[in-house]
Amino acid sequence: MAKMIFVNLPVANLKRATAFYESIGATKNPRFSDDTASCMVVSETIYVMLLTHEKYGQFTAKKIVDARSSSEVLIALSADSREDVDAMVKRAEASGVTIDPTPTQDFGFMYGRSFEDPDGHIWEIFWMDVEAATAGGDHSSAA
């Protein structure tokens, strides 16, 4: 079985967050969703669990940060091409969220852009030519 990742995110408005993730291409799995959580399927191995603050609080005693003013995590998601990067960011922009909160990165062998979801969680969408990246040279400035 392939390893899977579940990214758990606290959200202020579950309905709005669910609609946003659907607008950028994720699908809701109703088997693992209810009025406190939406299980959003990004791929066969990547899931985003959108949790109300009350539900999220059941898993941690720590204070939930405001992702618009504090950094909690940067989530990076690969894309198949530069065009796919731009297409996902364009879909996010059509939903009315902040796009490119971090500068666009273009290193030739790697290209990335970003957006914030409705709760301020930053998603970095990137494409990388693995062969070019590993062909040699110092790419340390790209990290």
> In the predicted model, is pLDDT for residue 108 greater than 90?
yes
> In the predicted model, is pLDDT for residue 9 greater than 90?
yes
What share of the chain has pLDDT > 70, as a percent? Answer: 94
Query: pTM above 0.75?
Result: yes
Which fold would CATH assign to domain 1-61? 2,3-Dihydroxybiphenyl 1,2-Dioxygenase; domain 1 (3.10.180)
> In the predicted model, is pLDDT for residue 142 greater than 50?
no
DSSP string across the chain? ----EEEEEEES-HHHHHHHHHHTT-EEEGGG--SSEEEEESSSSEEEEEEEHHHHTTS-SSPPP-TTTS---EEEEE-SSHHHHHHHHHHHHHTT--B-SS--EE-SSEEEEEEE-TT--EEEEEEE-HHHHHSSS--GGG-
pLDDT, tens only, 116-139: 999 999 999 999 998 887 876 555
As assigned by CATH, the class of the 72-136 domain is alpha beta
**Is 72-136 the same fold as 1-61?**
yes
Domain extents for the chain?
1-61, 72-136
